[in-house]
Amino acid sequence: MNVARGTTMAIETRGLAKRFGSTWALQDCTVCVPRGRISALVGPNGAGKTTLLRLLVGLREPSAGQALVLGRQPRQSEEFLASVGYLAQEAPLYKRLTADEHLDLGAYLNLRWDKVVATDRLRALQIPLEPVGTLSGGQRSQVALGLALAKRPDVLLLDEPVAALDPLARRAFLSSLAEAVAGGELTVVLSSHLLHDLERVCDHVILLAASRAQLCDDIEVVLESHKCLVGRRRNAADTGAAFNVVKAVHSERQSRLLVHTKAPVTDPTWEVSDVGLEDVVLAYMGDDGSVTAGPLSLVGGEQ
Amino acid sequence: MNQLIWRLHRQQLLFAGAALVVLGVVLVVTGTTMAAHYHSALKLCAASRTCAELPDELFQGDGFIIDLVSVTIIVPLLFGLFWGAPLVAKELEEGTQDLVWVQGVTRRRWMTSNVGWVLVAAVLWGAAMSALVTWWRGPEDVLRGGRFAVSFDITGLAPVAYAVFAVALGIAAGTLLKRVLPALATTLAGFAIVRGSVGLWLRPRYLGPIRASLPLVNDGSGAPPGAWVLSRVVASPAGHIYDPYSPAGIPAACHAAFFDNSALSCLAAHGFRRLVTYQPASRYWAFQGIEAGIFVALAAGLVAISYLAVLRRDA
């Protein structure tokens, strides 16, 4: 493996797969996230987002393929565990302990622990000094995020951190995260089945659907390389030959395509327009959540 | 790690500590009184040569405390239920393994600290309880020789080994079943089955019992004092076992004596013997050692299974 690349990529997986019994939760997943990115891991429910994150933090063993986090395979070593922060779905905490007691526990369990900053954050958020079992979902998530950040990890993996929160708490959580990440070298991957939540804070996107990675790139690049074409009705074979079609809608008189293209579209019979990230993601997922037969050429490593 | 365990389990420890203190106070107070009675009674009976009649008088009025002491037989099981079963299962049930297994401590170290401390607690509490009970029962066990036959399970090394086994069983059940309630049920059933089958079936066979053919005397088993008597029958000179509920098979001369106290002496006169199978008192510590060894070995196996399950678990 190329050493220089290993140091620029915070996360890199090759052919990563995980099977539970006879069903594949994740298949042939090849993605990479450069250092310093905040990556949105999106996909419909059951697409394998949680499985991917748990493989990356070493809570699960891959059935095939390889995962590298900061150039190392996830494993049970104090060095590896210290470099990766993970916030599981529903932010598990010890219900009978207070937020401050959790910070104490973190200090016992980690060599690197930023207790002062974490305590200040909790005070600023006015988290009550009660057992966390009595706190609201938003407050619990903030406590759990505080724990994950106090570790000062190089890579932070957040699994559906805002799924259970109301819109206000969601916004508060994401701005806490953005604040904590600002200016640092921290790489973040946060998953959600709603892209909308993440678009504001993320600059990178990984799309999982049907247990495979459909898209993995900087959001900027994704937006530049996808175009919406509208023109007179053509048949699918022709458009398929001319473009890398992600999604096509043919009505009686016109065809509407979402294509992946790096070169500008010169054919004047097409009306070309830019697309939003949500359009692209939905196109790859299919509007009904199922995956359309799209190109996998965008997926990881091809840069 | 140690601070984490203290913080998460200190309530259980303090509760168990309080229970132990209460038991200790009750037993020390009553035991001291009893020992005083015992010693003064020994002086008196030695003077009047009536020591054989002592035990029945000595422990009258102690019914509740004797029950309390007998009830300590279930305390190892309680350790298994309250300390062992929830140890891993509670984390898995509440999802907190996702919090604690991604901190800067490997799962191996997490498991070693947790299992290590709970086993240490089981040994300390088990030993303290056993020491108290052994001391408390001292006078009675000396007088009645009941240490081997009656209080084997609550004195000496055995309770400590039971505590270790119960905790290990609880940990393994919790680790494999991942839920507290099924783990509790499994620990309860498993402990009862293993303890029962070892106590009733295996223990009498640790060492070959001694079979003695003794003359019929009016009272007592005939076995040496302090022995654990496994069986005791009356047999005819030809070796037939005599059924005490039927006069058949006994000499006609003794039929008349069957319903009064002279039956035994009549049978003795006709050559009947008492056949006794027993484990002598001198084997008490050997048996305690074997019993403890069996349960500690079982515990070691269960702990090893739990380790493998936690380290290899696809969480």
Distances in Å between the alpha carbon of B122 and those of A175, B125, B126, B161?
Answer: 48, 5, 6, 9
Any A CB within 8 A of B206 CB: no
| Superfamily of domain A3-218, CATH level 4 | P-loop containing nucleotide triphosphate hydrolases (3.40.50.300)
B98 vs A61: CB contact, 8 Å cut-off?
no
C-alpha–C-alpha distance, residues B112 and B4, integer Å: 13
User: What is the domain partition of chain A in residue ranges?
Assistant: 3-218, 225-285
A60: nearest CA partner in chain B: B314
DSSP-derived secondary structure for A109-157? H-SS--HHHHHHHHHHTT--SSBGGGS-HHHHHHHHHHHHHHT--SEEE
Q: Between chains, do B3 and A108 touch, taking CB under 8 Å as contact? A: yes
Q: What angle do CA B298, B1, A143 make, to 5 degrees?
A: 125
Interface mutation target, options B98, B111, B313, chain A, most CBs of A under 10 Å: B98
| Contact yes or no for B107 and A147 at CB 8 A | no
Put simply, whether B67 touches A (Cβ < 8 Å) is no
State whether residue A93 is helix, strand or coil. Answer: coil
What does each C-alpha distance from B176 to A143, B170, B182 come to in angstroms? Answer: 30, 10, 10
Which chain B residues have a beta carbon less than 8 Å from that of A78?
Answer: 104-106
Is the Cβ pair A94, B108 closer than 8 Å?
no
Tokens of A268: 């004047």
What pLDDT was estimated at residue B189?
97
Tokens of A20: 């539970």
Query: Which residue in A has a C-alpha nearest to residue B95's C-alpha?
Result: A92
Residues of chain A in contact with residue B315, where contact means CB-CB under 8 angstroms, are 54, 59-60
Contact: B106, A93; criterion CB under 8 Å: no
B106–A76 CB contact, under 8 Å = yes
Query: 3-class SS at A248?
Result: strand
Residue of B nearest to A80 (CA): B104
To test the contact with chain B by mutation, choose from A20, A57, A59 the residue with the greatest count of B C-beta atoms within 10 A, namely: A59
pLDDT at A211: 75
Instruction: Confirm or reject contact between B112 and chain A (CB < 8 A).
Output: no
Considering only the beta carbons, identify the residue of A92, A101, A105 that sits closest to B95.
A92
Choose between A188 and A163: higher pLDDT: A188
Does residue A2 surpass a pLDDT of 50?
no
In the sheet that A187-192 helps form, which strands lie side by side, from edge to edge? A84-87, A155-158, A187-192, A38-42, A204-209, A212-218
Tell me which chain B residues have a C-beta less than 8 angstroms from the C-beta of A104. Answer: 3, 7
Q: Does A95 touch chain B (CB under 8 A)?
A: yes
Beta strands at A155-158 and A187-192: parallel, antiparallel or unpaired? parallel
Q: Does B308 touch chain A (CB under 8 A)?
A: no
The answer, yes or no, to whether residue A301 has pLDDT greater than 70, is: no
The pLDDT tens digits for A28-55 are: 999 999 998 999 999 888 888 999 999 9
pLDDT at A7: 60
CB A132 within 8 A of CB A93: yes
Look at residue B127 in the predicted model and tell me its pLDDT. 96
Helix (H) or strand (E) run with residue B212 in it: strand B210-215
Residue of A nearest to B110 (CA): A109
Over residues A281-292, the mean pLDDT reads: 65
Q: What is the pLDDT of residues A221-231, one digit of tens each?
A: 999 999 999 98
Give the pLDDT of residue B220: 59
For residue B95, give how far its alpha carbon lies from the nearest alpha carbon of chain A (Å): 6
Are A112 and B104 an interchain contact pair (Cβ–Cβ within 8 Å)?
yes
Q: Which tens digit of pLDDT belongs to each residue from B284-310?
A: 999 999 999 999 999 999 999 999 999
Chain-chain contact of B102 with A85 (C-beta, under 8 angstroms): yes
Closest residue of chain A to B311, computed from CA coordinates: A76
Nearest to B85 by CA among B20, B2, B179, B11: B179
* Whole-number pLDDT of residue B259: 65
Chain-wide mean pLDDT for chain A?
A: 85
Q: What is the distance between the alpha carbons of residues B150 and A74, in angstroms, rounded to a whole number? A: 56
Paired sense of beta strands A226-232 and A254-260, if any: antiparallel
pLDDT of residue A303: 31
Q: What pLDDT, on a 0 to 100 scale, did the predictor assign at position B140?
A: 74
A57 touches chain B (CB under 8 A): yes
> Are the C-beta atoms of A81 and A119 separated by less than 8 Å?
no
Is A164 in CB contact (< 8 Å) with chain B?
A: no
Residues of chain A found within 8 Å of residue B94, distances taken between Cβ atoms = 92, 94-95
The answer to whether the CB atoms of B107 and A82 lie below 8 A apart is no
Query: pLDDT tens digits for A91-138?
Result: 899 999 999 999 999 998 998 898 888 898 889 888 898 999 999 888
* E runs forming strands in chain A: 9-20, 23-29, 32-34, 38-42, 64-69, 84-87, 155-158, 187-192, 204-209, 212-218, 226-232, 244-250, 254-260, 271-274
Q: Find the mean pLDDT for residues A144-150.
A: 90
**Taking the mean position of all CA atoms in its chain, how far away is CA A200?**
13
Say if A84 is an interface residue toward chain B (CB within 8 Å): yes
In chain B, what residues touch A90 (CB-CB under 8 Å)? 95
Q: Alpha-carbon torsion A150, A156, A157, A159, what sign?
A: positive
Whole-number pLDDT of residue A292? 45
Other Cβ atoms closer than 10 A to A241: 8
- How much is the average pLDDT of A54-69? 93
A166 lies within 8 A of chain B by CB: no
- The reply to whether B1 touches chain A by the CB within 8 Å rule is yes
Weakest-pLDDT range from A56-65, A172-181, B41-50, B71-80 = B41-50
pLDDT band at A284 (very low <50, low <70, confident <90, very high): confident
Q: A184-209: per-residue pLDDT in tens?
A: 789 999 998 777 777 788 999 999 98
Nearest by CB: B7 against A60, A77, A101: A101
Chunked into runs of 10 residues, chain B (315 residues) has average pLDDT values of 85 88 87 79 74 61 72 93 95 93 92 95 95 85 78 93 97 96 97 95 92 74 80 79 70 68 74 86 93 97 96 77
In angstroms, the CA A51 to CA B315 distance is 10
Q: Which band of pLDDT confidence, cut at 50, 70 and 90, is reported for residue A295?
A: very low
- Judged by CB atoms closer than 8 Å, whether chains meet at A110 and B101 is answered as no
What is the arithmetic mean of pLDDT over A58-87? 91
A93 touches chain B (CB under 8 A): yes
